Structure 1
Amino acid sequence: MPVYTCTLAQGTLSNEAKSDLAREITTIHSAVNHVPGNYVNVVFNELPPTDVFSGGQPGQPLIINGWVRTGHPDEETSQLVREIADAATQVTGVPVEKVLVVIQNSPAHHAIEAGRVLPEPGQEHTWLAAGG
């Protein structure tokens, strides 16, 4: 259901660090938003170092942009960004000053997974029982 895109300069993270970060994001999202881990998607978008800027200068930020369904409580979303930012720093070694986590959302009915419109937050169990 959720999609996390991690954008960074090529060579910033090892394959092991990417795998560890994807696992941490999955664990955190599952715990905070009550979604089975197998529905959490994490994608790494690595760009040439000449295409990544921070403050108008070439840089090596780690930008994690997440999409979730509208309707999760604000305090859960705040917890989600804090925990993901902390995990990103701990797992990857990227300094906290270079980590940006942003959560965006849209209504559940604006997305389809497994051929079905996504459920509203809180309706996951019904959706899964019906064949999700």
Structure 2
Amino acid sequence: MPVYTCTTVQSTLSAETKADLAAEVTRIHSMINHVPGSYVNVVFHELPADAVFTDGQPGRPLLINGWVRTGHPEAQSSQLVAEVAAAASRVTGIPAKRILVVLQNSPAHLAIEGGRVLPAPGEEEAWLRESAAEGKEAD
């Protein structure tokens, strides 16, 4: 359900570091929002060095944009963004001052995954049961 896009300059992160960061983002999101890790998508987008600027100058930030469903408690979302930012610095070795994490949200009904409209926060179990039942009917 959630999508985290990590944007960096090419060759900033090794394949191992990307995997470790994806695992940490998944763990954190799953723990805080109480959803299975299989819901969490992490994508890496690498740009040429001349395509990333900070303060009008070529930069080397790590930009993490996360999309989540509207409806999570504010304190939960604040904890999520803080823990993802801390994990990003810890896992990548990039100083916190070069990391930006932004969470954006929209109503669940504006997203479809696996051919089904996403459930609102708190309605995941029913959504999973319905999904499992539909899968059995297809067999």
Alignment map for 1:93-132 (pairs within 5 Å): 93-131=93-131
Shift of 1:35: 1.1
**Counterpart of 1:56?**
56
Query: How far apart in 2 are the matches of 1:80 and 1:55?
Result: 27
TM-score, with length taken from structure 1:
0.98
**AA aligned opposite 1:57:** Q
**Counterpart of 1:89?**
89
Unaligned runs of 5+ in 1: none
Query: How far apart in 2 are the matches of 1:126 and 1:70?
Result: 18
Query: How far apart in 2 are the matches of 1:74 and 1:124?
Result: 19
Correspondence 1:9 to 2:42:
no
Query: How far apart in 2 are the matches of 1:29 and 1:57?
Result: 32
| Matched residue count | 132
Q: Percent identity?
A: 66
Higher helix fraction (1 or 2): 2
TM-score, with length taken from structure 2:
0.94
Q: CA RMSD in A?
A: 0.7
Unaligned runs of 5+ in 2: 133-139
Query: How far apart in 2 are the matches of 1:54 and 1:81?
Result: 21
Query: How far apart in 2 are the matches of 1:69 and 1:56?
Result: 33
**Counterpart of 2:35?**
35
Shift of 1:80: 0.3
Q: Deviations over 1:15-45 (max 9, x none)?
A: 1000000000000000001111001000000
Query: How far apart in 2 are the matches of 1:28 and 1:56?
Result: 33
Query: How far apart in 1 are the matches of 2:62 and 2:55?
Result: 13
Shift of 1:108: 0.2
- Structure 1 residue ranges (4+ consecutive) displaced by more than 2 angstroms after TM superposition: none
Larger Rg: 2
